[in-house]
Amino acid sequence: MKQKLSASGLIPRSAGFLFTLCFSICAFAQNQKAQDTSEEKITRQKMKEEGLPFPVIDKLIQQNKELEAVGRKVNWISMKQNPSANSSCSGMGVENGWGVWQWQMGTNSGGNPPVFTNPPALNPAAPNFSITSGPGIDPNTPGSPSSPSIPYVCPGFGNHSIQIGATCAGDGVVERLTYPLTVTVQDTNFTYAYALVIEDAGHLPNEQPFAGICIYDTTGNPVPCGCFTYTPGTSLPGLYSVNGNGCAPSSIGEYKPWTTVGVNLAAYIGQTVTVVIINADCIYGSHFAYSYWDFLCSSSVPFQPQFCSGQQITLCAPTDPNISYAYQWYLNGSAIPPPAGTQTCITPSPTQGDTFWVHVMQPSVCNFYLLFTPTDTCLSAANEISENEITVFPNPSSGSLFIDFGNKNSGKAEISFSDVMGRIVYATTVPAIGKQAIDVSHSSGIYFLKLKTAYGIVAKKIVIEK
């Protein structure tokens, strides 16, 4: 047998072929590894230039690899958080436009993991990003006359909501919205609502359409109870079949009506967390998902009930007909006993200054609170006192809180501060004339100031920061 001389000695011709093949494979692997390393290096450099700290960069790169391994890669190449005075929670509900919400578009068509093709940019645009308004409902809902519908605007959350995803367009597109939220003491009981319309294509879970939300802290870690992904064909409860009158076929079309979720952000006061919403069609480009979102940044319900003295009103907590929530209601810090105190709705006869809390307990253990502060709109003219007649400043306050009663002498004013559970933590009496100062430097958080004079009662929410 002929021999071939190599640098390492005599090698049979067949072995030489294997050596050449091995060398080619190894060289390809080395080149691929070098390419991957080069891409990672470029990504790291871009993140560094955008001001992300090294622990965050490491965490995001690792998450990228983990997500790619299961077919859910998210390209975090541009996660710069531009500090902005408008990144407060009040801007998340798009009541005054998009504000600092940033958008990205991408694709997961053909079995590729989602890849975003542009860096985050301001001014999202339809049809993939829309601000909804008005009294209409999604045309794919309700599924039946007895089923709930999806109003375009989340009830109780304001006059506008967010829709992400082109309606009924299954083209393998991925959409993402990000918001840098600077957490204050008013945002500790962060509440959001979502609704979605989605097709159950019967694919593998990582091939299905999906929608999700995740809140990341400054180190890139998910906030507890802050991340959920909603995928059809999984254990997601509360889904209904569409009505078949819209573009979604009733055989595979599903929807989930508006559902409220709470997240405790108390541990992140003073930090900037990143809220990420993602919406994706199936990887084969034939089945769609689109979703609705809205945000409630204070634990106080935005549209507070009104009443007249002695009048009974109805206060209701969020519900889901397919999820067993539990409730505990509180009046001025004291638990309302069962059965009323553990029901979805209560029917009290409040007085001015009363505060009602409901603790909403979910099977996911992601519990949250909502606050109701009814306002007496029928005070008699003899006892009526306008909130404009009394000025409380500064708010937020970190040292002294000033109460200006003006030049009208109302005798004495009874003043009390209640915490968020309605418990009175401080009470005093001051002359109800001129400007009075109260030292609040020893406290921090959200409090409710109740002022009672001979002319009536005024209640105000006060934020005290150290």
Q: For 143-186, what is each residue's pLDDT tens digit?
A: 888 888 999 999 878 889 999 998 777 678 899 999 999 988 77
pLDDT at 276: 95
pLDDT at 7: 35
Q: For 48-83, what is each residue's pLDDT tens digit?
A: 655 555 655 666 677 667 666 655 545 544 443 343
Considering 93-107, 349-363, 402-416, the range whose residues carry the highest mean pLDDT is 93-107
More confident residue, 161 or 22: 161
Considering 45-54, 264-273, 369-378, the range whose residues carry the highest mean pLDDT is 264-273
Can you tell me the distance from the alpha carbon of 84 to that of 63, in angstroms, rounded to the nearest whole number?
A: 26
Per-residue buried b or exposed e for 42-67, using 16+ beta carbons within 10 Å of the residue's own CB = ebbebbeebebeeebbebbbebbeeb
pLDDT band per the 50, 70, 90 thresholds, residue 15: very low
Percent of the chain at pLDDT above 90?
Answer: 23
Do 57 and 89 form a contact (C-beta atoms < 8 A)? Answer: no
pLDDT at 76: 45
pLDDT band per the 50, 70, 90 thresholds, residue 231: confident
Can you tell me the distance from the alpha carbon of 162 to that of 131, in angstroms, rounded to the nearest whole number?
A: 5
Q: What's the rounded mean pLDDT across residues 309-319?
A: 83
Residue 33 has pLDDT above 60, yes or no: no
More confident residue, 162 or 400: 162
More confident residue, 76 or 345: 345
Paired tokens of 170: 């299954």
Q: List C-alpha distances in Å: 450 to 270, 391, 418, 459.
A: 28, 13, 8, 5
Q: Which of 114-118, 354-358, 428-432 has the lowest mean pLDDT?
A: 114-118
Q: For 82-106, what is each residue's pLDDT tens digit?
A: 434 447 788 899 988 999 999 999 8
Do 382 and 292 form a contact (C-beta atoms < 8 A)? Answer: no
More confident residue, 446 or 68: 446
Average pLDDT, the chain: 78
Can you tell me the distance from the alpha carbon of 421 to that of 372, in angstroms, rounded to the nearest whole number?
A: 11
